[in-house]
Amino acid sequence: MAGFSQLNPMGIFGGTFDPIHYGHLRPAFELMEALRLPEVRFMPAGTPPHRERPTADAALRLKMVEAAIEGQPGFVVDDRELHREGPSYSVDTLLDLRAEYSHRSLCLIVGMDAFLDLPKWYHWREILQLAHVVVAHRPGWRVPDLGPLRELLVDRGTARVGDLHDSRAGRIYIHAVTQLEISSTAVRRIVEIGGDPRFLMPDGVRKIILESGCYAQSAERT
Ligand code: ATP
């Protein structure tokens, strides 16, 4: 395909990552391969606007992401949201990236649950002016048959990977990934009650969790 990777698409995977687990890593990897993304950036959120404060502090969440992606070519961490004051709005991050990489295709990766919430995001319509949105199917979630998201999908949806390489922003691509019903909430609960999160995440992340004790006390705090 002529000029297939001219726009050097960047996958952007934001999350609280409190902690990062295989439910994040495997879909990101599958998307990187399927969409032929040269790079997927993991962006830990500072103060997430749509939810309560993370349990592990920013430095520790960043350390866990670094440990998780170690040795995987194409996976990189970008900590810009951790340095910003106030809520981590995706639109601000995308504005930042767009200013820095004016010619690249930007592909914002979200799970289906996050996509269903998109109309609640700050300046959500602007997001598609700045980036494509790539949706990873998540167990138990589907796009509603009616409403703004359905309309958006009719308008902007594509099943062509090439569209993410041919234009810099504006398309929505839904991709089925291996369904791993792991959530950070479930991981934190396991650790809180003294359980072992082994096999839910890379060993390096598990080690940080156990050594720091970052989730051991969270039941007492909530
Ligand atoms: P929590 O349980 O604390 O809500 P989480 O496991 O959903 O956390 P986040 O850091 O909030 O993790 O998620 C970041 C992104 O990863 C979101 O877009 C979310 O939809 C996606 N995601 C999280 N877990 C999975 C999973 N098991 N499969 C696919 N996508 C996932």
Pocket test for ligand 1, best of 178, 183, 189, 205 (most atoms within 8 A of CB): 183
Whose CA is closest to atom 13 on ligand 1?
Answer: 15
Instruction: State mean pLDDT over 119-143.
Output: 88
Predicted local distance difference test score (pLDDT) of residue 219: 45
Give pLDDT tens digits for 170-196: 999 999 999 888 999 999 999 999 999
Q: How many CB atoms lie within 10 A of CB 112?
A: 19
Domain-located, residue 206: no
Query: Domain span at residue 50?
Result: 10-181
Q: Tell me if 192 is assigned to some domain.
A: no
Residue 102's CATH number: 3.40.50.620
Tens-digit pLDDT profile for residues 146-166:
888 999 999 999 999 999 999
Beta strands in 58-171 (DSSP E): 75-77, 106-111, 132-136, 157-158
* In a domain? residue 198: no
As for how many domains the chain has, the answer is 1
Whether residue 200 lies inside any domain: the answer is no
Whether 221 shows a pLDDT value over 50: the answer reads no
Mean residue pLDDT of the chain comes to: 91
- The counts of H helices and E strands in the chain are 10, 7
| SS3 assignment, position 106 | strand
| Alpha carbon of 65 to ligand 1 centroid (Å) | 13
Q: Which residues contact 156 (CB under 8 A, 6 or more apart)?
A: 128, 170, 171, 172
Examine residue 175 and state whether it is found in any structural domain, yes or no.
Answer: yes
Q: Which of 81, 82, 99 is nearest to 90 (CA)?
A: 81
Are 115 and 149 in contact, with CB atoms under 8 Å apart?
yes
State what percent of residues in the chain have pLDDT above 70: 92
**Domain presence at residue 25:** yes
In a domain, 154, yes or no: yes
Contact 72, 85 (CB under 8 A): no
**Span from the CA of 15 to the centroid of ligand 1 (angstroms):** 7
Tallying the residues shown for the chain, one arrives at: 222
Position 2 confidence tier, pLDDT thresholds 50, 70, 90: very low
Q: Residue 92 — very low, low, confident or very high, per pLDDT cuts 50/70/90?
A: very high
Proportion of the chain above pLDDT 90, given as a percent: 75
pTM for this predicted structure? 0.91
Q: Would residue 2 count as lying in a domain? A: no
Nearest of 122, 133, 51, 46 to residue 91 by alpha carbon: 122
Q: How confident is the model at residue 48 (pLDDT cuts 50, 70, 90)?
A: low
Mean of the pLDDT values across residues 101-121?
A: 93
